[in-house]
Amino acid sequence: MSEIYVITSGKGGVGKTTTTANLGMGLAMRGKKVVLVDTDTGLRNLDLMLGLENRIMYDLIDVTEGRVAFKKALVRHKKYENLFLLPTSQVKDKMSVNPEQLVKLCDELRREFDYILIDCPAGIEQGFKTAIAAADTALVVTMPEIAAVRDADKIIGELGRADKDNIKLIVNRIRPSMVESGEMLDMDDINDILSLDCIGQVPDDIKVVTAANKGEPCVASDDSQAGQAYRNIVSRMLGEDVPFMDFHKEGWWTRLKHMFRR
């Protein structure tokens, strides 16, 4: 049975696209057949994260407007046979796709794929409403910052209004040292406001940036903390019970080791 996830956040820049790319690749690494659908029309980035920009022939708009079959628009990943991307248009805007079109498309994709991950645009306008229309589960990405948490709260409210009750939380870009010194919100503060089931805590890792620049999501690299966190989320999505990583335990010795390994 295929599952449709929408990755959403409210605030921009918290790592929706990075999360989509990493989780998609993580699921593909576990042998699932995955398609990533970029709905951030006009500001597409998901193809960059996966290093597939130069292979795009057709896009989401071509498919929803019936110019090509979705199979023609899908871009297969270089390394992972069962990871596909359905990119979106760089020239059209978010009004070009409506919720009904996306629901229809997802119904077709459901027959082919195990997991469908939809990358949602920031904000709560039309693009958001389109992106969430077909989803079974929403993954709300936030980071330990007051504006991001507030916007996540608003998004959860909007999801509730759209009758999407299956919502999971991913807290991205945690800086353990700042949390420890009380400069950053900790998980308790976030839980206090959002009271959501959390399936992922991802540390802020410079590897994420270098990986994104190279078009290779960090989920594939063994020596990245964030990559490990993403692999844990993938396991939880597959129904496994994985304990959360404890960033606080990382003492100066491990930190030193990390430094040398870089």
Give the footprint of another protein on this chain (CB under 8 A).
150-151, 153-154, 156-158, 160, 192-193, 195
- CA angle at 68 for the pair 66 and 70, rounded to the nearest 5°: 95
Q: Determine how many CB atoms are found less than 10 A away from the CB of residue 192.
A: 11
* 53 vs 189 by CB, closer to another protein: 189
Give the nearest distance from C-beta 165 to another protein in angstroms: 10
* 29 vs 193 by CB, closer to another protein: 193
Checking 64-67 for CB contacts under 8 A at 24+ apart, the result is 64/96, 64/97, 64/101, 64/102, 64/105
Annotated binding site: 11-18
* 109 vs 171 by CB, closer to another protein: 171
Give the nearest distance from C-beta 132 to another protein in angstroms: 15
Annotated binding site for ATP: 11-18
Give the nearest distance from C-beta 40 to another protein in angstroms: 22
**Which is nearest to 88 in space by CA: 79, 101, 112?**
101
Give the nearest distance from C-beta 12 to another protein in angstroms: 17
Answer for the pair 174, 144: CB distance below 8 angstroms, yes or no. Answer: yes
**CA atoms of 15 and 107, how far apart (whole Å):** 27
* 37 vs 122 by CB, closer to another protein: 122
Cα 88 to chain centroid distance, Å, stands at 16
Give the nearest distance from C-beta 158 to another protein in angstroms: 7
* 189 vs 250 by CB, closer to another protein: 189
Give the nearest distance from C-beta 157 to another protein in angstroms: 3
* 112 vs 158 by CB, closer to another protein: 158
Alpha-carbon separation of residue 83 from 30, 54, 77, 113, 162 (angstroms): 11, 16, 6, 10, 29
Checking 242-250 for CB contacts under 8 A at 24+ apart, the result is 244/201, 245/201, 245/203, 247/174, 247/176, 247/179, 247/201, 247/203, 248/176, 248/180, 250/176
